[in-house]
Structure 1
Amino acid sequence: MALNILKLCVGCDSVEELEAWVAQKLAERRRNGEPVEHWHTTRMVPARGPEITDGGSLYWVIKGNVQCRQLITEIRPFTDDQGIGRCRLILDPVIVRTDWQPRRPFQGWRYLKAEDAPADLGKGRAGMAEMPPKLRQELAELGLL
């Protein structure tokens, strides 16, 4: 069974903003002749890498709720130009919206077991993704999502 990672999406106020940021980074890499791939850099290398790359995703907490995920395709440890060990989580650029799941702030990232992860938005709830982000946030704060 795949293992997931849970991380705060610092600097993004909505899934739409995250989608735009990913598209911008991919376009920038394409223009610069670099490999067109998307990644997120972390300080720590997950010790359970094989479980994560076996179908695990990075679940993003945006404004206090898990709202979406991206499939983790590879984990690449590296040393930065200051000699600090870091890790790139190579992500599928497609962002999959999920049911909202409230989460308190935390530092770094956490493992997230598959049975504890929110479900992807199915056809019956796909209309929720079409709601304006502010409305979704207000409904979540009221406990209606």
Structure 2
Amino acid sequence: MSLNLIKLCVGCDSVEDLEEWIAFRLDERRRAGEPVEQFHTTRMVPTRAAELTDGGSLYWVIKGNVQCRQRLLEIRPFTDAEGIGRCHLILEPTVVRTDWQPRRAFQGWRYLKIAEAPVDLGQGNAALAEMPPKLRLELAELGLL
């Protein structure tokens, strides 16, 4: 059975910001002759890696709402230059927008059960998919989404 992760997307104001950052980082890796893959580095290594890579995703909280996800492909623990254990979450670079789901701030990442994860945008309320992101944000801030 698959499992997901949820994490704050610090530094991004929108899904579009995240997509631009991913494209920039992939282009940097391509120019440097490094493997072209997208990853996120964390301090803690998930102990349930097999469940996460069995169809799980990393759900991103942007501006207080889960707004999108990326499929988890692999979990790669490593030790950094200072001898500290870390982990690369290897992600599919495609960002999938989801129905918005309010979330309070937290540190690090958390496991997110399949039943608690928001559905992909368009699978729930198709009208939300057509709504401009700024309008969705304003409605979410008013508690209407």
Question: Structures share a fold, TM > 0.5?
Answer: yes
Q: Tell me which amino acid in the other structure corresponds to 1:46.
A: P
The 2-side partners of 1:65 and 1:136 are apart by: 11
AA at the equivalent of 2:13 = D
Q: What residue number does 2:84 align with?
A: 84
Q: Note the residue ranges of structure 1 that are not aligned, 5 or more in a row.
A: none
- 1:143 Cα deviation after fit: 2.0
Of 128-137 and 17-26, deviating more is 128-137
Query: Pairwise CA RMSD of aligned residues?
Result: 1.3
1:1-21 per-position Cα deviation (integer Å, ceiling 9, x unaligned)? 210000000000000000000
Matched, 1:59 2:70: no
Distance 2:99 2:133 in 1: 14
Structure 2 equivalent of residue 118 of structure 1 = 118
User: TM-score of the superposition, structure 2-length normalised?
Assistant: 0.95
Query: Aligned pair count?
Result: 145
C-alpha deviation, 1:43, in angstroms = 0.2
Deviation at 1:135, TM superposition (A): 1.5
> What is the CA-CA distance between 1:134 and the residue it aligns to?
2.3
The 1-side partners of 2:124 and 2:80 are apart by: 45
Equivalent-residue separation in structure 1 for 2:118 and 2:7 (angstroms): 14
The 1-side partners of 2:6 and 2:124 are apart by: 25
Distance 2:32 2:21 in 1: 17
Name stretches of at least 5 consecutive residues in structure 2 with no aligned partner.
none
**C-alpha distance in 2, partners of 1:117/1:133?**
20
User: 2: distance between equivalents of 1:31 and 1:133?
Assistant: 32
Instruction: State the SS of the aligned residue for 1:33.
Output: coil
Aligned to 2:96: 96
Q: What TM-score, normalized to structure 1?
A: 0.95
Contact 2:99 2:124 in 1 (8 A): no
Structure 2 residue identity aligned to 1:110: R
